[in-house]
Chains A and B, each alone.
Chain A
């Protein structure tokens, strides 16, 4: 099947993909960062103590996302969400496992994958002295979009995202963080990617802007058949937007399913009769370690076990 993108960039019009294949296939992916100690301390310390410190950012993650699905990755800061997105974006090479986008391996078929994806990162990364138009024209040309077509489309998308016309030609450094983030979102939408990676895209946005972005994300799925992976720690956003969520903690997926499935599972585990919130679900799975039945029995209740582990975690952090 050829990708149909009536408003999209030239980039995807000649790509043939198999719609029966999973959009994103992550299998056994791990990424370890080795952090060298400063040279002086390496020289002063004994050989045994010197050397590298390892940080396992992503630990044996397996996750499959179907075409047109919106999947949320929920995790605390430093849990490995962004590392996973950077692997999917072809910016990091995993140490183990593989990632495929519509059957194309992110490492072996890098260029093909790059044509299928786009990404919004938590920081709106732009040439701040340049205007939204100058930044987006640059991005559009990299994705093979002619200048005139790109200019018209940029004005249209920015207008829909609520960027005033008179700001389109002004330097981005004079814009609020929320507006800059909207321009970042416009950059990703400009190329009409069939897989969109959103790394905390609404962090720092006001409630109205968040809703506008969420509407735009849904529209991208409906009109362009896009598959969307979104990382967030906004539980309301996850609930509002995602077909499925996966909770990641210390580089590992500790739970995945629909929001309702996860809520039900935690409600049963906590022996509650009233519904649990997504915040409670998140806290349950990301507490120092997963609370087991034995631990609930040991501490008397889920809440007491949770408090005990949180206190223990704080002691360890100190």
Chain B
């Protein structure tokens, strides 16, 4: 009981610390939010202009919502991923990494403590982005099921956290450019998950990669919820939920395991130290 209380307190320590950092870096948060909004608008305007570009009459409203869901999920994934991988990069840069790693807490507590703030931060960030970008377009949300959409986003978060923990190994092992190296994981997810297009347009050899990406199922589920009013218990949503459950159950423990191995290697080779 006492140990559980300790781990709970420690987990909250990461949440509180990251919230304090967000407040102190508010200007950066605003810049990052504007950057994401501008990016999302640029992509969504492709949908608005599709009829003009092709000269063919298409359902522009559907396409806009299709792309907007893509940009929102991509933004959520990026912010959450950034939050998870940054837990090492920022600590290395500030020089606090040694103090955090010599604290008497389990690595699971450390990682999950950092991740639940990243998820909350990502959800809030994406919600604001969605409101702002949505206000620029006439969105047809008459077929939207918001409960299902929230459920899919939360179900996908667990897997995103697992993948994020796995990617956080890169800044742990590569002291100078590890954070940038973790971008490759995000880039591959962007390519194969059908963020802006159906997975079926990808070359045949690339399509199996989509089936191991949690973003694929989150996007499918969100589109079914917001474009086709699918309920949580519908067959279409379930077909995207169970792969997410499995991916989450596998990716989080696997991510923590990989991280622990990497930590041991870092302790053997002296990489667990401040940078600069």
Which of A's residues lie within 8 Å of B, judged by CB? 10-11, 14, 31, 33-34, 83, 86, 89-93, 111, 114-115, 117, 119, 121, 123, 125-130, 134, 137-139, 141-146, 171, 187
Q: How far, in angstroms, from A83 to B270 measured CA to CA in the complex?
A: 9
Query: Which residues in A have their C-beta under 8 angstroms from that of B99?
Result: 119, 125, 139, 187
Enumerate chain A residues within 8 angstroms of B24, measured Cβ to Cβ: 129-130, 171
Find residues 1-32 in chain B having any chain A CB closer than 8 Å to their own CB: 2, 5-6, 9-10, 12-13, 16-17, 20-21, 24-25
Residues of B within 8 A of A146 (CB): 9
A sample of 26 cross-chain residue pairs with beta-carbon separation below 8 angstroms, ordered by A number, consists of A10-B2, A14-B2, A33-B269, A83-B270, A86-B270, A89-B98, A92-B268, A123-B274, A125-B94, A126-B95, A126-B96, A127-B17, A127-B90, A130-B21, A134-B20, A137-B16, A138-B16, A141-B10, A142-B100, A142-B103, A142-B105, A143-B104, A144-B5, A144-B6, A144-B9, A146-B9
Q: Are A91 and B272 touching (Cβ within 8 A)?
A: yes
CB within 8 Å for A91 and B273 given contacts A144-B6, A144-B9: yes
Are the CB atoms of B264 and A93 closer together than 8 Å? yes
With A91-B267, A125-B94 already in contact, the answer to whether A119 and B16 are too (CB < 8 A) is no
Among residues of B, the one whose C-beta sits closest to the C-beta of A128 is: B94
Range class of the B interface residue count: 20 to 34
- Besides A93-B268, A142-B10, 12 more A-B contacts (Cβ < 8 Å) are A10-B2, A83-B270, A86-B270, A91-B273, A117-B102, A125-B95, A130-B24, A134-B17, A134-B20, A138-B16, A141-B13, A142-B100
Indicate whether B197 reaches chain A with its CB closer than 8 angstroms. Answer: no
Contact across chains for A125 and B96 when beta carbons are under 8 A apart = yes
Which B residues are within 8 Å of any A CB, using their own CB? 2, 5-6, 9-10, 12-13, 16-17, 20-21, 24-25, 90, 94-96, 98-106, 264, 267-270, 272-274
A92 contacts B13, CB within 8 Å? no
Q: In this complex, what residue of A is CB-closest to B274?
A: A125
- B267–A92 touching, CB < 8 Å: yes
- Residues of B near A31 (CB, < 8 A) are 270
Question: How far does the Cβ of B83 sit from chain A's closest Cβ, in whole Å?
Answer: 15
Q: Which residues of B contact A129 (CB under 8 A)?
A: 21, 24-25
**Residues from chain B with Cβ under 8 Å of A123 in the complex:** 95, 274
Q: What's the nearest-Cβ distance from chain B to residue A120, in Å? A: 10
Give Cα A123 to B92, complex, Å. Answer: 13
Known: A119-B102, A143-B103, A143-B104. A127 touches B94 (CB 8 A): yes
Cross-chain contact B98 with A91 (CB below 8 angstroms): yes
Contact between A91 and B94 (Cβ–Cβ < 8 Å)? no
Give Cα distance in the complex from A111 to B260, angstroms. 14
Contact of B98 with A138 in the complex, beta carbons under 8 Å: no
Residue pair A127, B104 in contact (C-beta under 8 Å): no
A137 to B103 alpha-carbon distance, docked (Å): 13
Chain B residues lying within 8 Å of A117, measured Cβ to Cβ, are 102
A125-B13 contact given A92-B270, A92-B272, CB 8 Å threshold: no
User: What are the residues of chain A within 8 A of B9 when measuring CB–CB?
Assistant: 141, 144-146
B267 & A93 in contact (Cβ 8 Å cutoff): yes
Contacting pair B96 A127 (CB below 8 A): yes
Structural contact, A141 and B96, CB atoms closer than 8 A: no
B102:A114 contact, CB within 8 angstroms: yes
Looking at the assembled complex, report how far the CB atom of B75 sits from the nearest CB atom of chain A, in whole angstroms: 25
Bound state CA distance, A117 and B94, in angstroms? Answer: 22
Q: For the complex, what is the distance from the CA of A22 to the CA of B105, rounded to whole Å?
A: 25
